[in-house]
Amino acid sequence: MSTCERCGAEFHCAMADAPPGQKPTGAPGETPCWCTFEPPSVPVPGAGEAGCWCPACLRAHIAALKAP
């Protein structure tokens, strides 16, 4: 399980939570992470150095960016 860097919730990340001893490869047949279905152009503050956000936090961030 991964831990959301924004709220601390535990969630499954298919890119980070590969089976023990196996790194995700992106090979055909591997389940893509849920976040790959979100808009790819949405910048996540600190992405890369901060880690992943849970679905609720990422979707709230996307909604806030779209708000007028």
Any idea where the domains of the chain sit in the sequence?
1-68
Q: Which residues of the chain have pLDDT under 50?
A: none
Check residue 15 and give its pLDDT. Answer: 72
Check residue 58 and give its pLDDT. Answer: 87
Check residue 7 and give its pLDDT. Answer: 94
Check residue 27 and give its pLDDT. Answer: 57
Query: Is the pTM above the cut of 0.85?
Result: no
The rounded distance, in Å, linking the Cα atoms of 66 and 47 is 19
